[in-house]
Chain A
Amino acid sequence: MKHLFGWLRKHLVIVIIILAAMLLELISAIQYRYARDLLEQELEKSCFYELTSSALRIQEKIAEAEVVVGNQMWHIRRHLQEPDYIVELAANMVKDGGINIIGGGAAFKPNYFPSKGFYYEPYAHKTKDTVIISQVGSEQHNYFQSPFYMAAMRGDTTKWTTPYLDREGAHGIVTTYALPILDHNNISVGALFVDLTTDWISEVVNERHSYTSSFVLVLSKTGELIASPADSLADPALVKKIVEMVSDSTVVREKKENGHITGFAFEDEDGEKGHVYHAFRRYEPLWQMVMVCYDKEVFGKLDKMRHRLILLALFGLAVLGLIIQLFVKSHRKLQKAEVTQERINGELRVANRIQQSMLPPNHLHRQDLDICGSLVPAREVGGDIFDYYIRDEKLFFCIGDVSGKGTAAAMLMGVIHSMFRSFSLRENNPARIMQSINELSCQGNDSNMFVTFFLGVLDLPTGRLRYCNAGHDSPYIIHNSQLLSLNCFAHLPVGVLDDIKYSMQEIQLQPDSTIFLYTDGLTEAMDQEHKQYGLKRVEAVLSSLADKNSEQILEEVTKAMHEFVKDAKQSDDLTMLAVRYIPHSFESMLTETLVLKNDIREVSKLSSFMKSVTEKINLEVSLSSQLRLAVEEAVVNVIDYAYPMGTEGEVEVCMMFNGQSLKIMITDCGVPFDPTAKEKADTTLSAEDRQIGGLGILLVRELMDSINYEREEGKNILTLIKTIRN
């Protein structure tokens, strides 16, 4: 059952077309039946009419002959004693009769006129232009046996003979009409007769027909063919067959017109079907009238019309089927497209989640930092990015905008984002990070997409902001109701040329300053009249937000922008990042300093120095030991790396305590050396794979709360902080 439904659904169009075709055929068949019945009735009517009218036309001629004989009879009876005059009368009768009366005469009983002999039959024969009179009765022509004579003498009611071949008088096929000649005693003494040819009958009855293939046959009472149309109009074989069928009592007939007419069907040699209508004449001679008509002519047009209609309907259905098929196909395509679209949408939603999850938290609150960022893509995924993270007391942050929107932009942004993260892992210089990102981005950038990118590194202990801008909108610094657009070198965006030299810029950030970064989705936000929000409006809003925290700043800017664009659709990704810097000063209660030479043996001095400091602040032994280890490792690192072999220098260790935290600053005048940029040793490796190096800095990171490197005035300054008490 399920299988059947499935099949029906699959072949729905074909099923519909077949059903429609069947319905159409049914309607057409009913119509055809109905029309055929009507036509048949019509045919019968016209056949009956033709049969009747043919019979009437025969009657005219018949009556003509009967009248001629009747009229002459009167004269004959008056001159019954004058045999020679009778000849004249007979000649007049033939002369006056119609053209179809080919001859006529009188035939008297034997020896009626003794002067004329045993046989006396004067006969007038009409030729083309004259009437020849002769006495035809003789031993050779014993007319006493002639059917017309015998009938007349008997006084039969049948006064017409069956047509026959007259060799003596008429010399052709004739039918004879004879009346008895009665003497004064009303005794038959002979017969007065006319011979009527039969060749006119066919012409008269086949004068015209409603159907050209129809024809009428006339048969004698006993079934002999009297008249048939020319062979060209009716096939003699068919005529013969019809004549046989008329007399064949086994043929099934239908009675019509109160039984006056009977009808039956026939089929000719070629298989063509037809109908025969048959009737007897009502008057003498009682001939049979037979009308033959072919169905083809009667119903041919109807059949043709039906065939055409069926063909037309089939063609129409085929076209309809094709249209439905196309419609169904396009509908299925549309459905498929919808499914595909839904899948793409689903994937885009996932992509959006992935992209959002790559972003850092929207908020970060620390003692010295208050960060808020937001990214609203115009589509599911966008080409904007912001990111920030803190490493070794440095805030690495960035904002970027890929040329173009959508998936391609998002993919490139994802790549740029990971590069930012990985290159900044061991590099503090924003220009160098930018350089690396640019070089890698240019490789295989066949789509020629580029990214405007701002990259900042804020040293949290000092407030020193180092940055590098690759073609991005300059960020603003908000400080004490002053709005400062950050001065940026005009660098090309990332991804344009691989040999660009990016330069770093640096400013000292004042406490309680906010860095505001944005993408052009803000300044180029458009209202419904396509008017841009613009930099001036942004600046106006920003200048009033000096005392606000980062979250409030973003809220206010967004609110003001929305008031401007109203209901207009967001056309570009909108990204903003606000970084508020609120450093706390380290107020030292205790400061101790130790200066060492760049010699490993000097390290032993650290032990007693550290002990004395940690004792002063009452630090427990194990914590003290940890601090000592961290400082020793840091100092050894400096001695090993900051001073090249053979050079002499000093390392200063300065310890400060503010009641809560210990801050240890290790300063040297050696070559720039950033231990925080060193790769961290992998502590999960097996003994065989463990490397000898990297342990020192690992210990420093593990033992201290924070480590920070700064190069200042030709000095390397490494700052370690450990919170002792909360």
Chain B
Amino acid sequence: MKAIIEELADKYVATLKGEMDTAAAMETEEVLKPLYNSKGKDVVIDCSGLEYIASSGLRILLSILKGAKANGSRVVLKDVNDDIKNVFKLTGFISIFDFE
């Protein structure tokens, strides 16, 4: 599991790669923590390399979303594969995130 975040002028871009199981989510959370407060900037999360996500991963995404919403900015998930999208569907997350 690999996670990188980049802060651009108008947005944050995070890239997730590999399988984010429960153990991986614990480590990844440390990397993604700055996104919990995006200071009003939109957050784009590139999921093209994400192969698997467990509920702990979803919880991190939810925390980022809550932070962004509080500041009026958006969270966009890019290139989510079908299996993972199914997980979003089952949990009802599909309706609270923006997908591209």
Q: Which residues of A contact B (CB under 8 A)?
A: 600-604, 606-607, 622, 625-626, 628-629, 632-633, 636, 681-688, 690, 692, 695-696, 698-699, 702-703
Task: Evaluate contact between B62 and A607: CB separation under 8 angstroms.
Answer: no
List the B residue with the shortest CB-CB distance to A633: B55
Task: Evaluate contact between A603 and B22: CB separation under 8 angstroms.
Answer: yes
Task: Evaluate contact between A629 and B52: CB separation under 8 angstroms.
Answer: yes
Which of the residues B26, B83, B91 comes within 8 Å of A622, measured between beta carbons? B83
A698 with B65: in contact, given A600-B22, A603-B21 (CB under 8 Å)?
no
Task: Evaluate contact between B26 and A695: CB separation under 8 angstroms.
Answer: no
**B68-95 near A? 1/0 per residue, CB < 8 Å:** 0100000000000011001100111000
CA distance A600 to B91 in the complex (A): 22
CA distance A625 to B85 in the complex (A): 13
Least CB distance from A635 to B in Å reads: 9
Max count, chain A CB within 10 A of own CB: residue among B24, B26, B58, B91? B91
Does any Cβ of A come within 8 Å of B23's Cβ?
Answer: yes
**Total contacts A-B at CB 8 Å:** 70
A699 with B90: in contact, given A600-B26, A632-B21, A633-B54 (CB under 8 Å)?
yes
Task: Evaluate contact between A703 and B59: CB separation under 8 angstroms.
Answer: no
CA distance A622 to B87 in the complex (A): 11
CA distance A703 to B22 in the complex (A): 17
CA distance A607 to B20 in the complex (A): 11
Which of the residues B21, B23, B66, B91 comes within 8 Å of A695, measured between beta carbons? B91
Contacts of B86 in A (CB 8 A): 622, 626
CA distance A682 to B93 in the complex (A): 11
Q: Which 9 interchain pairs have the tightest Cβ spacing?
A: A683-B92, A695-B55, A687-B96, A702-B90, A696-B55, A603-B22, A601-B23, A622-B83, A636-B22
Which of the residues B23, B59, B87, B96 comes within 8 Å of A603, measured between beta carbons? B23
Contacts of B23 in A (CB 8 A): 600-604
Does any Cβ of A come within 8 Å of B15's Cβ?
Answer: no
Least CB distance from B99 to A in Å reads: 14
Task: Evaluate contact between B58 and A695: CB separation under 8 angstroms.
Answer: yes
Q: Which residues of B contact A (CB under 8 A)?
A: 19, 21-24, 26, 52, 54-56, 58-59, 62-63, 65-66, 69, 82-83, 86-87, 90-92, 96
Which of the residues A607, A682, A687, A688 comes within 8 Å of B21, measured between beta carbons? A607
Least CB distance from B54 to A in Å reads: 5
CA distance A602 to B26 in the complex (A): 13
Least CB distance from A540 to B in Å reads: 54
Contacts of B96 in A (CB 8 A): 686-687, 690
What are 13 contact pairs spanning A and B, CB under 8 A?
A: A604-B21, A604-B24, A607-B21, A625-B83, A629-B52, A684-B92, A685-B92, A687-B96, A688-B66, A695-B59, A698-B91, A699-B55, A699-B91
List the A residue with the shortest CB-CB distance to B68: A687
Task: Evaluate contact between B91 and A683: CB separation under 8 angstroms.
Answer: yes
Instruction: Identify whether the interface residues of B are mostly helix, strand, loop, or mixed.
Output: helix
Contacts of B92 in A (CB 8 A): 681-685, 690
CA distance A245 to B92 in the complex (A): 125
Task: Evaluate contact between A687 and B65: CB separation under 8 angstroms.
Answer: yes
Task: Evaluate contact between A688 and B69: CB separation under 8 angstroms.
Answer: yes
Max count, chain A CB within 10 A of own CB: residue among B55, B83, B91, B96? B55
CA distance A684 to B56 in the complex (A): 19
Task: Evaluate contact between A699 and B87: CB separation under 8 angstroms.
Answer: yes
CA distance A698 to B55 in the complex (A): 9
CA distance A604 to B25 in the complex (A): 11
Contacts of A695 in B (CB 8 A): 55, 58-59, 91
Which of the residues A606, A622, A629, A687 comes within 8 Å of B69, measured between beta carbons? A687
CA distance A683 to B58 in the complex (A): 13
Task: Evaluate contact between A607 and B91: CB separation under 8 angstroms.
Answer: no
Least CB distance from A296 to B in Å reads: 109
List the A residue with the shortest CB-CB distance to B52: A625
CA distance A448 to B83 in the complex (A): 57
Contacts of B22 in A (CB 8 A): 600, 603, 632, 636
List the A residue with the shortest CB-CB distance to B92: A683
Contacts of A602 in B (CB 8 A): 23
Task: Evaluate contact between B54 and A636: CB separation under 8 angstroms.
Answer: yes
Contacts of B52 in A (CB 8 A): 625, 628-629
Contacts of B63 in A (CB 8 A): 692
Contacts of A636 in B (CB 8 A): 22, 54-56
Least CB distance from A594 to B in Å reads: 15
Given contacts A687-B65, A690-B92, 9 further A-B contacts (CB under 8 A): A628-B52, A629-B87, A633-B54, A636-B56, A683-B91, A687-B96, A695-B58, A696-B55, A699-B55
